[in-house]
Amino acid sequence: MQKFKAGILGLALTAMSMTGAAVAEPIVIKVGHSSEAETMLPGAGRTAGVNAFKHYIESQSHGEMVVEVYPNGALGNGRAIVEQAQVGIIQVAGAYTSIMVPFAPEIAITQIPYVFDSNLTAWKVMEGPVGQELADLFLKNTGLRVLGWADGAGFRNIYSEKPVHSPKDLEGMTMRVPENPGLLAMFRAWGSKTVTITWSELYTALQAGMAEGHDTELYSMYSKKLYEVNPHVTVTRHSYNLHPLMMNEEFFQSLSLEHQNIVLQAADLYTRVGNAHSYLSSLVVQEAMEKEGAVFYYPTAEETEQFRALGQQPYIDTIVRKIGENGQAWVDKILAAADAAREGS
């Protein structure tokens, strides 16, 4: 009888142990993005930010949450990654401005030509009320919570087969432009023909002559070696780019308050690390590109004003129409926020 009781007790303890092991299974957070896996300089600020995000969550949760990162577009292009996060295939998506615009046209206000004069101005605006309102809107439209508006390798510039010093040099040139309707309108106002080609196919398309130039950020261009086909860099700094990180809201709400707080703290770290690393990369990437044969041109103040005067209003008019009733109010809001950030108020 004693042996029987001991056997029952042993089975009970084993069952309890197995139940405890099941409860102790870590919560897995899958993150998909299109930047490289390893943090390096020059390198993607998003990569550095995601790696900090992963380390913080895993260390602060003591292994209760595990972050699996799928970089280099392993899960598909930018839009596919966002859509996977929407339906819960993955929990977190690393996106960029232009891919967010089709989901929420209001996001396009952040790429108004010359709305930001510096990275610092952009950071202040996106960390303030305008950034929060855009995040709230994106959550309502998509079910995705914007965790942080990190710098997306800074400002966009023009890259081409031949030198471009002013809008006149763009007349008749076929330029690859992303999905943002405002950017398409801007390049058309500069006299260009426009085509939309996915980022993953851009090198081959430029090589095949489907486009003579494109616009993106310096590090993005460098990372894909696009200088091999578009060696001329015109530093217009015409539009700012963001690399926000976003989480499926249903998943976020399923977490305990303690785990939610850890995720939000990690998101703050993602933004800070991403901003800093992106800015550092912008300081060294020109030298790296010049070693590979890229030729840089900095427009004069007069030439920059030509780009702004011709391109800004067509961009604004286009996105106001896309946004609809509150379009101009959104434009006015970010212009005022940028002015306040520049003045330090």
- Report residue 135's pLDDT band, with 50, 70 and 90 as the boundaries: very high
User: Phi/psi at 324 (nearest 5 deg)?
Assistant: 100, -140
> Mind listing the domains of the chain with CATH numbers?
25-343 (3.40.190.170)
Confidence band of 21 (pLDDT split at 50, 70, 90): very low
Point out the least confidently predicted range of 47-56, 143-152, 191-200, 258-267: 191-200
For the entire predicted model, the pTM comes to: 0.88
Q: What is the pLDDT of residue 345?
A: 58
- The pLDDT mean for the chain works out to 93
Token readout for 341 is 């950030």
E strand or H helix that includes residue 123:
helix 119-126
Q: Is the pLDDT of residue 252 over 90?
A: yes
pLDDT average, residue stretch 129-152: 98
Q: What is the pLDDT of residues 72-102, one digit of tens each?
A: 999 998 899 999 999 999 999 999 998 999 9
Overall average pLDDT of the 207-233 stretch: 96
Q: pLDDT category, 200, cuts 50, 70, 90?
A: confident
How far is Cα 44 from Cα 263, in angstroms, rounded to an integer? 21
| pLDDT class of 23 with cuts at 50, 70, 90 | low
At residue 171, the pLDDT reads 97
DSSP 168-188: GGGTT-EEE--S-HHHHHHHH
Per-residue model confidence as pLDDT tens digits over 154-183: 999 999 999 999 999 999 999 999 878 999
Neighbours of 105 (CB within 10 A): 23
For tokens 């069952």, name the residue: 15
**Radius of gyration of the chain, Cα coordinates, nearest whole angstrom:** 23
pLDDT at 10: 52
∠ CA 274-215-183, rounded to 5°: 95
Q: Which two tokens stand for residue 213?
A: 């130039």
Beta-bridge partners for 330: none
Report the DSSP beta bridge partners of residue 91: none
| Overall average pLDDT of the 44-59 stretch | 98
Query: Which pLDDT score is estimated for 269?
Result: 98
pLDDT per residue as tens digits for the range 299-323: 999 999 999 999 999 999 999 999 9
